[in-house]
Chains A and B, each alone.
Chain A
Amino acid sequence: MAAHTATSFTDKVLVSDEVAEFSPEVIDEMKAHVAKYPAERSRSALIPLLFVVQRERGGWLDNPGVNFLAKFLNLEVTDVWETATFYSMFNLRPVGRHHIQICKTLSCKIMGEPEITDHICTKLGIHPGETTEDGKFTVTMVECLGSCGTAPMMQIGFDYHEDLTTEKVDKILEACK
């Protein structure tokens, strides 16, 4: 599957030694995360910090961002990648400004997910796993997001949108700038 979809991690990923820079405010935010854990266990902050880096680097984890974290937490670059590649919320390639994640698991599936997915993909002219040419939207199919009682649902960025109908989806997409 991965080989011929745009979600493949092996294409177009540029490897570089460049190290990203962040503003003092962002560094403070990162330090606040690190402060939660015992001093010798700062690796515990890795996942929260990967989210910060992903947000600051335009929605995905690029090499410079990961290189920064390795230095910041005194880890090997491979340690950071090891963790980053495990979790589905870390984007290893660029995504659109609005990352639409449609829940495809059972309760959503039987409550109308296929219709919602078709509607969104037709409207945007892309398949799941792809990004619109203008870089505005990416559609990803994801596993259960814990909104089964309000199925079907999707998450755009971190925002939950539940009890979806095609009309509701239209309004939500229109509101995306």
Chain B
Amino acid sequence: MEIKAIGCEPLQLKLMHVKDGHTLKVYKDHGGYKALEKAFKMAPADVIEEVKTSALRGRGGAGFPTGMKWSFVPKETPKQKYVVCNADESEPGTFKDRYLMERDPHALIEGMIIAGWALGANTGFIYTRGEYKYLIDIMDVAIAEAREAGLIGKNILGSGLDFELYTHTGAGAYICGEETALLSSLEGYRGHPRMKPPFPAVEGVYASPTVVNNVETLTAVPQIINMGGTAWRDLGTEKSGGTKLWSVSGHVKKPGVYELPMGYADMEKFIMEDCGGMLRGDKKLKAVIPGGSSVYIMNAGQVIGKKVTMDYEGLVAGGSSVGSGGFIVMDETVDVMESTKNLTEFYKHESCGWCTPCREGTDWLVKIFNRISEGGGRPEDAQLMLDICDNIEGKSFCPLGDAAAWPIQSAIRQFPEDFKKWLVDKAQTSGVTANV
């Protein structure tokens, strides 16, 4: 598996191939914790301003401007404030945060302390998915090292900031990547999302002001402070600042984690050259899901020769979105209806059951997929599924419902022939005559 930067100097990936990059010593040798010192010389409001200038947008999937999120936290409040890192990385196709935490844990710690300084928060939690237990162990060691060095605790580096940082484990629930569900889980409850407003910035964990940021978002913060918001933004585009990690999996020769400047020209070149092209030379590209499973699937025609720019605006124009940056590349051997069925099973399994449209809708979608699979497809099934999706999309309590609907809507739209063929073939192999 490849881990490298293309079209820019490695920033997020700077220490990925450095021996013992996970240790405090090596991190410091490479300029680590310089940003923290610099931030301590700035007023907290100026740190937030710098992050705003950088045009950093949340890297977990929603892409919300980070500086703006930070500015929603009330300045004057008698309550304790919290910084929470969302390391629940569970979006199918996404595996970038894993490597950041495994090989560069101090970047995350530094980012969280700076966030603590900017927001006036004294406690941080790193909420990591339970399956990543080995990463929790790595983070615990790194946190202990930082505490030993006086980087966590009372009056850090004489700044007057007290900041404590703890790891917290999830236990296998995709929904806990949704920030309010994560907070419920952090409090020891089922991972049900909460009503917004109040937003976490006002009432988050323990009903206190809380900022929840993805790992990659927080590890970008020291870079922004080091080089300045403007310089960092200019690595990317005006609206999508900096660099972005893309997790690439599926039918390419070189899957891996790639760091690209935002606005990298041409998704086709990225797949066909940077990722080594198709895994099997004789098989053509059929489909790409560019942002983790929860975004629109693209067919080859939307990618080849279309010069799709890899940033927030470019991918929307290309017919999908950045999401979490989880690229799943599929060649012509994949039946897009089978792949969509697979993802729908995922959403059904991961629906938290809190709201009816998502809980019942995903269940019915899987039932219909299964019926078609067993040869009982009906001509009206495409419309039936689109109707169910329409009853979920925008009507569920949290975005998981939308995420379940989008793959199906886009698959039927971009691969109508696959859907039709699926109905007929499944019916024929089961001996039932289809009427399509």
Residues in chain A within 8 A of chain B (CB atoms): 36, 38, 41, 43-48, 50-51, 82-83, 86-90, 104-107, 109-111, 142-151, 155, 158-160, 163
If over half of A's interface residues share one DSSP class (helix, strand or loop), that class is named, otherwise mixed; here it is mixed
**Which residue of the partner chain A has the closest CB to B192?**
A86
Cβ A146 vs Cβ B339 within 8 A? no
Q: Determine the distance from Cα of A145 to Cα of B90 in the docked complex, in whole angstroms.
A: 7
Indicate if B132 sits at the interface (CB-CB under 8 A): yes
In the bound complex, do residue A46 and residue B188 qualify as a contact, i.e. CB atoms below 8 Å apart? yes
- Digitize B127-147: 1 where CB-to-A-CB distance is under 8 Å, 0 elsewhere: 001111110000000000000
A46 contact set on B, CB distance < 8 A: 188
Q: A146-B94, A146-B131 are in contact. Are A106 and B173 (CB under 8 A)?
A: no
Task: Contact check, A110 vs B250: say whether CB atoms are below 8 A apart.
Answer: yes
The interface centre, meaning the residue of A47, A88, A106 with most chain B CB atoms within 10 A of its CB, is: A106
Residue from A104, A106, A155, A163 within 8 A of B293 (CB atoms): A106
Given known contacts A143-B346, A158-B134, is B172 in contact with A151 (CB within 8 Å)? no
Instruction: Check: B291 CB closer than 8 A to any chain A CB.
Output: no
Other A-B contacts than A47-B169, A106-B328, A143-B346, 12 sampled, CB-CB below 8 A, are A38-B206, A44-B186, A51-B169, A107-B249, A110-B330, A142-B172, A144-B92, A144-B346, A146-B95, A148-B255, A150-B255, A155-B131
Closest chain B residue to A41 by CB distance? Answer: B206
Bound-state Cα–Cα, A107 to B129, Å: 19
Minimum C-beta distance from B332 to chain A (A): 12
Q: Is the CB of A146 within 8 A of B172?
A: no
Binary per-residue interface labels of chain B (251-290) against chain A in the complex, 1 for a CB within 8 Å, 0 otherwise: 1000111000000000000000000000000000000010
Partner of A48, one of B92, B168, B206, B248: B168
Interface size class of B (residues with CB under 8 A): 35 or more
Chain A proximity mask over B1-15: 1 for CB below 8 Å, otherwise 0? 100000000000000
Interface 1/0 per residue, B328-360 and A, CB below 8 Å? 101001100001001100100110100000000
Contacts of A155 in B (CB 8 A): 131
Whether the Cβ atoms of A146 and B346 lie closer than 8 Å is no
CA distance A142 to B249 in the complex (A): 18
Cross-chain contact A44 with B328 (CB below 8 angstroms): no
Binary A-proximity of B63-93 (CB < 8 A = 1, otherwise 0): 0000000000000000010000000011111
Q: Which residue of A lies closest to B251 (CB)?
A: A110
From the candidates A51, A106, A142, A149, name the one contacting B339 in the complex (CB within 8 A).
A106
A to B CB contacts below 8 Å, 21 in the list: A36-B166, A43-B189, A46-B188, A51-B130, A83-B189, A83-B190, A86-B191, A89-B130, A90-B171, A106-B92, A106-B289, A110-B334, A144-B90, A144-B93, A145-B131, A146-B95, A148-B92, A148-B93, A148-B94, A149-B248, A151-B249
User: Of B166, B171, B255, which is within 8 A of A149 by CB?
Assistant: B255
Contact of B174 among A44, A143, A158 (CB under 8 A): A143
- Do B93 and A107 touch across chains, with their CB atoms under 8 A apart? yes
Show the binding face of B for A, using Cβ within 8 Å: 1, 80, 89-95, 98, 129-134, 166, 168-174, 185-191, 206, 247-251, 255-257, 289, 293, 326, 328, 330, 333-334, 339, 342-343, 346, 349-350, 352
Q: Which residues of A contact B90 (CB under 8 A)?
A: 143-144, 146
CA distance A38 to B90 in the complex (A): 28
Establish whether residues A89 and B1, one from each chain, have CB atoms under 8 Å apart when the complex forms.
no
> B12 to nearest A CB, angstroms?
16
Is A47 in contact with B326, judged by CB distance below 8 angstroms?
no
A148 touches B247 (CB 8 A): yes
A131–B171 alpha-carbon span in the complex (Å): 21
Residue of A whose beta carbon sits closest to that of B2? A149
A107 to B279, CA, bound (A): 13
Residues of chain A lying within 8 A (CB to CB) of residue B289: 106
Residue of A nearest to B338 (CB): A109
Q: How far is the CA of A17 from the CA of B52 in the complex (A)?
A: 56
Q: B247 touching A149 by the CB < 8 A rule?
A: yes
A104 to B338, CA, bound (A): 13
CB distance from B345 to the nearest CB of A (A): 8
Chain B residues near A48: list those with CB within 8 A: 168-169
CB pair A86–B169 under 8 Å, yes or no, is no
The docked-state distance in angstroms from the alpha carbon of A143 to that of B362 is 15
Residues of A within 8 A of B92 (CB): 105-107, 143-144, 148
